């Protein structure tokens, strides 16, 4: 099969032009006319994924390997070392990042994992109405649903009536939320000053962590490709963090 066949499916379900301006999704290595024998899916490119990747494969990842302009290809440095291995194996690489968050990932996690069945997508955030819930109660529900090693949250005085979910690192979208009354924002990589801002506005924050909230990328995309008649192998990356 040609890379183009799969690329066109991905473009149809999650248009690359819908990604954030700073993002770099799309075809990163290879040509649309390349012939590949297998499709592999991973959260991102790492050493273990590359070791298990068969030659002449199409690797589809969530996090782009190439984000910024590369002036030199020093194969002893990242990401050039991974680019070299992909080229040597004659593999193509496609990244589906924020466009896939918008089209699939945020809503899937909100509805299927966290149980907000009536969630809807708006402006890159999955919103849902909830019935007057305490933030500690919601935080424990989220911790259990995502099987987190711990839960970090910012308390609020009022009860929660509405939530917003952004997988990965999504606090940059906080300013786009119009109605923050009785609101709790669920995203990963929440920083100290993010929490200070939310606390001043009496907005709840729950840190759903980066890897833990995005690890469903593979299973979602695998099902999509199966519906189009293509078999894909999930070869997921491991969380780079270890918890004690």
For residue 101, say whether it is annotated as part of any ligand binding site.
yes
**What secondary structure, in 3-state letters, does the chain show?**
CEHHHHHHHHHHHCCHHHCCCCCCCEEEECCCCCECCEEEEECCCCHHHHHHCCCCEEEEECCCCCCCCCCCCCCCCCCHHHHHHHHHCCCEEEECCHHHHHHHHHHHHHHHHCCCCCCEEECCEEEEEEEEECHHHHHHHHHHHHCCCCCEEECCCCCEEEEEEEEEECHHHHHHCCCCCCEEEEEECCCHHHHHHHHHCCCEEEECCHHHHHCCHHHHHHHHHHHCCCCEEECCCCCCCCCC
Q: Known binder of ligand: residue 62?
A: yes
User: 214 labelled as ligand-binding?
Assistant: yes
Residue 228 among known ligand-binding residues: no
* 189 is annotated as contributing to ligand binding: no
Residue numbers belonging to the annotated binding site for a divalent metal cation: 62-63, 101, 210, 214
Residue numbers belonging to the annotated binding site: 62-63, 101, 210, 214
């Amino acid at each position: 099969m040609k890379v183009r066949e799969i690329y066109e499916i991905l473009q149809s379900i999650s248009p690359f032009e819908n990604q954030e301006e700073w993002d770099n999704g799309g075809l990163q290595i290879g040509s649309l006319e390349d012939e590949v024998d297998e499709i592999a899916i991973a959260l991102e490119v790492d050493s273990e994924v590359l070791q298990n990747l068969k030659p002449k494969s199409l690797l589809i990842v969530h996090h782009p390997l190439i984000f910024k302009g590369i002036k030199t290809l020093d194969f002893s440095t990242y990401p050039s070392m991974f680019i070299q291995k992909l080229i040597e194996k004659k593999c193509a690489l496609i990244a589906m990042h924020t466009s896939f968050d918008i089209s699939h990932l945020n809503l899937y996690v909100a509805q299927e994992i966290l149980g907000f069945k009536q969630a809807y997508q708006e402006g890159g955030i999955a919103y849902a109405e909830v019935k007057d819930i305490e933030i500690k109660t919601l935080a424990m529900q989220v911790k259990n649903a995502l099987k987190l090693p711990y839960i970090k949250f910012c308390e609020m005085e009022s009860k929660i009536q509405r939530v917003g979910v952004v997988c990965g690192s999504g606090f940059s979208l906080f300013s786009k939320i119009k109605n923050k009354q009785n609101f709790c924002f669920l995203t990963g990589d929440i920083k100290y000053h993010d929490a200070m801002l939310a606390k001043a506005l009496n907005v709840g924050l729950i840190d759903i962590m980066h890897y833990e909230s995005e690890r469903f990328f593979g299973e979602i995309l695998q099902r999509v490709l199966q519906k189009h008649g293509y078999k894909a192998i999930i070869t997921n990356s491991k969380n780079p963090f270890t918890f004690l």
